[in-house]
Amino acid sequence: MASKSTDKAAVPAAKKAAKKPSTASSKKTTKPAAALGKRMASVHADRVFSTLHIAVQGRIATITLNRPERLNAINDEMPGEIRQAVELANADDRVHVIVLRGAGDAFCAGYDLKHYAEGDPTNVITQPMPWDPMIDYKFMKRNTEDFMSLWRSYKPTIARVHGYAAAGGSDIASCCDFIVMEDKARIGYMPVRVWGCPSPAMWVYRLGAMRAKRMMLTGDLIDGKQAFEWGLATEVAPLAKLDAVVQQLAERMAGVPKNQLMMNKLVINQAIDAMGLEQTQMFANVFDGITRHSPEGLWFKRYAQTYGFPAAVEWRDSGRPLPEPGPGDFGDAFMDPPTPDARSVWSRDVSGKRAAKPPKKEKSKTKSKEKAIEKTKRKATKGA
């Protein structure tokens, strides 16, 4: 049995111990809160991407599609890289606004159909018969979801459109929150005439039913002025002033707290979702596959492989009646050679842009700095 004197001595000691917090707990309570978000080092991001690069200046992230030699045409890697770049910008706590632009002479000239239509001998895009619609659906729906990362981004997205946002390029632009266009730029989805259906299906949500039908049932391109008049473009400007107009809009939003931008964008997006966007895109992606495997689609691909993509799009866009072979008919009656140098007005224009001056891929400032530092190191080593 313990003595009373021992008990009395233990009580004050116990009280003292209770009052004095442990070193571990005191450190835990005084530790500063972790910074929200992650900071993106664009120098590392540049090394990851093959079709674009991303840079942050102030509160604005700029994603640049970087295949100027093909007018930034979409290849297998670009859709996924767009999503990754958007995710990087969303994870970067500095960024409030995302601007998407194209290097060289165009925003994006669409899917690289010289590769997909003319150069697809193994039928990756058009399957051998009998075809599996769900294999095609998975491929196109993945691309659609990649483009829609711009729409679902928690931070506002602006498409800076110059030159062309044609076919798949209009898919990318229409998935951004805002489209700011050069007055002479052209936007539209020509493959609705044959071999295509725009898989994000944003036209009806951006233009309303009548004007969406005007675009999707003709395949016509409209310029920046008309896009502005129709409400498709938020702003329009001559090319020399385009960057300033984009910057003004981006900076105006960049001053708003990120949580305010996110909440108000989510409110608007859910209203579009409630109008049936997901169901519309499901139909569009299924139908896009059908357009490439229908008798007309198979004929178009065969014509492109035989005579070249420029000749095929010349017929597609000319307004001349397109062949309608029946089931089991591969369109042999419609395989007469085209006229020499057959190209659509659009194809002639973009090929002229490519021939006028060989475009160079844009280099980020971070890469230039790295090379300068490396050069200085080499000089210092030689001097030593």
Q: What is the DSSP string of 32-77?
A: PPPPSSB---HHHHHHH-SSEEEEEETTEEEEEE--GGGTT-B-SS
Residue 110 belongs to some domain of the structure:
yes
Beta bridge partners of 52: 65
Report yes or no: 224 and 161 within 8 Å, Cβ to Cβ. yes
**Residue range 229-273, pLDDT digits in tens:** 999 999 999 999 999 999 999 999 999 999 999 999 999 999 999
* pLDDT tens string 111-136: 997 777 666 666 667 888 899 999 99
pLDDT given for residue 373 in this prediction: 52
| Structure-block tokens of residue 18 | 């209770």
The answer to whether 144 and 200 have CB atoms below 8 angstroms apart is yes
DSSP 191: G
Which helix (H) or strand (E) element contains residue 160? strand 157-161
Mark the ranges of the chain whose per-residue pLDDT is less than 70. 1-47, 117-124, 350-384
Q: What is the pTM of this model?
A: 0.82
* 102 belongs to a structural domain: yes
Q: Would you say residue 20 lies in a domain?
A: no
Tokens representing 39 are 């900071």
Dihedrals phi, psi of 260, to nearest 5 degrees: -65, -45
Looking up residue 335, the CATH number of its domain turns out to be 3.90.226.10
Residue 240 placed within a domain = yes
Q: 285: how many CB neighbours lie within 10 A of its CB?
A: 25
235 falls within a domain = yes
Please give the single-letter amino acid code of residue 382: K
User: Residue 57: what are its φ and ψ, rounded to 5°?
Assistant: -130, 115
Structural domain that includes position 241: 42-366
User: What pLDDT shows up at residue 362?
Assistant: 62
Domain assignment present for residue 289? The answer is: yes
Residue 12 in domain = no
- pLDDT of the residue at 116: 78
Instruction: Kindly state whether residue 32 falls inside one of the protein's structural domains.
Output: no
Question: What is the per-residue pLDDT for 8?
Answer: 47
* CA terminus-to-terminus distance, the chain: 81
Taking the C-alpha atoms of residue 384 and residue 241, their distance in angstroms, rounded to an integer, is 50
Q: Can you give the pLDDT at residue 141?
A: 98
11: Cα separation from own chain's centroid = 70
State how many domains the chain has.
Answer: 1
Task: Report the SS3 class of residue 275.
Answer: coil
Contact 61, 89 (CB under 8 A): yes
Kindly report the backbone phi and psi dihedral angles of residue 222, in degrees, each rounded to the nearest multiple of 5, phi listed first.
-120, 155
Given this model, what pLDDT does residue 124 score? Answer: 63
